[in-house]
Amino acid sequence: MPLLPKNCKRISLLERFRAARRTVPADFTEPIFAIYHPDFMSIIGAGPEATVALEAEHPFAHEAGVYIPKDESVFVTSNKYVPSGASEGTIVVSKLSRDSNGDWTKHELSTGVSMGNGGVNYEDGIIFCDQGSGNRLGGLVYMKSQAPYATGVMLDNYHGRAFNSVNDVVVATSDGTIWFTDPIYGFEQGFKGKPQLPCQVYRFDVETGDVRVMADGFGRPNGICFSPDEQTVYITDTDCVHGDGTTDPMRASTIYAFDLVERNGSPFLSNRRLFAMADVGIPDGIKCDLEGNVYSGCGDGVNVWNTGAVLLGKIMIPGGVANFCFGRKGEMFLLNETRFWVVRIANHVQGALLHGMGIEV
């Protein structure tokens, strides 16, 4: 059996399920590439690395994680925090830029995005999930990726009813429609009014203006992504963690998979099934690589499953990962609240989203 790099740990099935032993300490302080299945080796490669590229006192790297290859930047949204001298909490959009030497800098932006959360590449900019505030409707906001970062509201209601607090978003590359989740975290965190809609998943057709409910029955729908062939939709339910900071281990911490089918010329989600449950924390952001493997930010880092829901391994990061994105081939960017990590894995691994959009990386 080949030797492993010092930051990797091979974990057998016996070790995983032996209740009396923890294969990795709960208070680990350095990143670990935990190998649960031999196939994970082909993903992480012979010399995986995880490096802190940026660090700050406040939680600047929480959500979004939108990589713009043409200018080597990643857009992120912070967790809610109270800036020095401020009277109330806010969420800040930042642009993280990499120079020709590989060094990163952070620029906090003044934008038209209110209490931003998830985001996705769109045309020559970004669609942000705008959770809104007490006096502003939330929805989908488009922002240019270059200064002065002009914004415009794309959608802010469901047939006259206000969204709760739009959380994550993805674009179907086959038809350009926009899919997004809408849990109640804004209400629970005190910056949105009483919910006017169930916690649901929506599809927005930019061409026609049509907005449809595609899935319900969630406690708190969160991350969303498509398989590379767009035949499967993965949606995370983070119902066990509430916006007021309380948790309920009896509630969902789960990834669901749906088949995307067509009926009478329209798309529907069918065959809802439990794909996987996070064993530590919640599965927040979710992405696929070109092989269809499913990656999700969880309480101990990024967990990786194959298409058959076999847990292949984990990129374990102290403090966990809320969201992340793929960069160039063999590269990932992990959002760890006060730290922004750059991870090197096998050179052939590539995220499905940018490839599907035809964006060269």
Strand 254-263 to 232-237 pairing = antiparallel
CB contact at 8 A, 332 and 323: no
CB contact at 8 A, 140 and 169: yes
How many angstroms separate the CA atoms of 171 and 14, rounded? 40
How many angstroms separate the CA atoms of 136 and 130, rounded? 10
> Helical H runs in 52-153?
none
Task: Write the pLDDT tens digit of every residue in 271-297.
Answer: 999 999 999 999 999 999 999 999 999
Task: Write the pLDDT tens digit of every residue in 136-170.
Answer: 899 999 999 999 999 999 999 999 999 999 999 99
Task: Write the pLDDT tens digit of every residue in 243-259.
Answer: 888 999 999 999 999 99
Q: What is the pLDDT of residue 142?
A: 98
How many angstroms separate the CA atoms of 16 and 360, rounded? 39
Task: Identify which of 113, 115, 65 has the alpha carbon closest to the alpha carbon of residue 90.
Answer: 115
Q: What is the pLDDT of residue 4?
A: 83
Q: What mean pLDDT comes out for the span 9-38?
A: 75
How many angstroms separate the CA atoms of 89 and 76, rounded? 17
Q: What is the pLDDT of residue 17?
A: 56
Task: Write the pLDDT tens digit of every residue in 300-316.
Answer: 999 999 999 999 999 99
- The two tokens of residue 99 are 């120079």
Task: Write the pLDDT tens digit of every residue in 84-96.
Answer: 777 788 999 999 9
Give residue 20's pLDDT band: very low, low, confident or very high (50, 70, 90).
very low
| First-to-final CA distance of the chain | 34
In 3-state terms, what secondary structure has residue 211? strand
Q: What is the pLDDT of residue 19?
A: 45
3-state helix, strand, coil in the chain (%, to 5): 5, 45, 50
> What's the whole-number average pLDDT of the chain?
94
Q: What mean pLDDT comes out for the span 22-27?
A: 67
Half-sphere exposure of 66 (CA within 13 A, CB side): 29
Task: Identify which of 317, 251, 314 has the alpha carbon closest to the alpha carbon of residue 282.
Answer: 251
How many angstroms separate the CA atoms of 355 and 74, rounded? 17
Q: What mean pLDDT comes out for the span 261-266?
A: 95
Task: Write the pLDDT tens digit of every residue in 111-123.
Answer: 999 999 999 999 9
**Which domains, ranges and CATH numbers included, belong to the chain?**
8-16+25-356 (2.120.10.30)
